[in-house]
Amino acid sequence: MVLAESEIATTPHVAVVSSPGMGHIIPLFEFARCLVTLHGLHVSFLNITTEASTAQMQLLHSPNLPSGLDVVDLPLVDLSTLVSKDALVLTRLSINVEQSFGCLKSVLLNLGKLNALVIDLFCTQAFDVCKELSIPVYSFCTTSAAFLAFSLYIPTMDREIEGEYVDLPEPVRLPGCSRVRIEDLLDQVRDRKNDEYKWYKYHVSRLPKAAGILVNTWEDLEPIALGAIRENPVYTEIPTPQIYPVGPLIKDIEPLTASDVDCLAWLDKQPTDSVIFIALGSGGTLSTQQLTEFAWGLELSGQRFIWVVRLPSDIACDMASFFCAGDGEAINDGREMEYLPEGFLERTKEVGLVVSSWAPQVAVLSHPSTGAFVSHCGWNSSLESVRCGVPMIGWPLYAEQRMNATMLMEDVGVLTKPVVEPGQKTIGRLEIERLMRTAIEGEEGKACRRKAKELKESAGKTLSIGGASYESLSHLAKQWKAY
């Protein structure tokens, strides 16, 4: 269902806004598309342009947007005197959103009557503006239900636990959910004295203000976490708004470049379920030492592979490309291959394909030759992998990715992880060799593949008419139309 221009003016109107960063932009934009094409709503997507990456701007200003989906660019703001050069990502994002929302009231008023505003986790400043305008606000959780349960519980932890969470003697016990290992705690809660923690607590503490929380997951993938949030007394007393699982919403396959076509043509020549795809998301890079060890381990394994290689970064934070996703000069200056072991490309040319900075991820994952995915375990990539029936090798780098990896391994059964020696930051080549062999040839890898293919079928059903996620979003769309 695509709206004709004559219908847009009288169609129920919803606005959507995301903080910068492709991990949030992509699912919220796909959500906006669904509201327009499947549920007949008019959607205005508010684009925070300050520090927006090239990839963000290209996606939101694609010439192929459906009629009824409008993108509204918010004016640029000056952060130079507000954010220090060494500010961490969440602090920078939060201040960016806060400043960009200086015009939010006037923008919303100019849009006319709005039935709802949908925000992501780091746009909670919108609650104050929308309360004044009597616009219901819904939060869209771009991560897992398990992470949502953790986030909702943070204010309670903050009141009840003294000292640092990382010093706790045992895992964090979430009510009704799996425990969170101390080593898996996301970066933003590892130091309660820094601005990252304060901003994170600020945003999650405001979740009860939402009229509802949409989650990019589905019932079969996370039944325990969803059940706990809905039914456990701790969460009902917070109080937690109504939960709407609407996933898995993943990015559509993108238009292919000439190099993308070559990549897929190479895949066409490989056996079914034989190729390991290695890509660490829009914001992930490896250190020089880890890049070298990975290359040696991959070569030793003898497995077929497609490897998306980026210029390594040896800074403390593994998010060097977070604010420049899609910026060719920032991510790829042509020197990536110089950091691979001498002779690696020649020795592996019969079994592997190395590509620079970018590959069409969904197209590769959906190809029958792809048998495993080395992933940073960002939630978008995790959903894409499961939606395509491909098991994962977890290589988490930052944010909640360590929590995702453990949950996908222990609770879902679609992922294997490297064994990391205590005190070591670099994973050695022999462990990488073992992981690659296990993923394609080992019984553990085969079991993960069977489970991933089961969930692929489940994901297709839940998104179809009559499926749980489709009906969850349909129910919400009907509420908005009646508002």
Q: Report the DSSP pairing between strands 13-18 and 42-48.
A: parallel
Q: Confirm whether 24 is a catalytic residue.
A: yes
Could you tell me the mean pLDDT of each successive run of 10 residues in the chain, 483 residues long?
56 96 95 97 98 93 94 97 92 97 98 97 98 98 98 98 97 96 95 96 98 98 98 97 98 84 97 97 84 97 96 57 51 74 96 92 97 97 98 94 97 95 89 97 97 98 98 96 87
Closest to 181 measured CA to CA, from 386, 410, 435: 410
Q: Confirm whether 42 is a catalytic residue.
A: no
29, 45 contact by CB (below 8 A): yes
Percent of the chain with pLDDT over 90: 85
Q: What is the DSSP letter of 251?
A: P
* Structure confidence by residue, pLDDT tens digits, 369-400: 999 999 999 999 999 999 999 999 999 998 89
> Which member of 13, 39, 120, 318 is catalytic?
120
* Structure confidence by residue, pLDDT tens digits, 244-263: 999 999 987 778 889 899 99
Residue 23, helix vs strand vs coil: helix
What pLDDT is stored for residue 285 in this prediction? Answer: 84
What DSSP letter does each residue of 194-242 carry, written as one string?
SHHHHHHHHHHHTGGGSS-EEES--TTT-HHHHHHHHH-HHHHTTTPPP
All structural domains of the chain, each given as residue ranges with its CATH number in brackets, are 5-251+464-482 (3.40.50.2000), 258-459 (3.40.50.2000)
Q: Is 86 exposed, middle or buried (0-12, 13-18, 19+ CB in 10 A)?
A: exposed
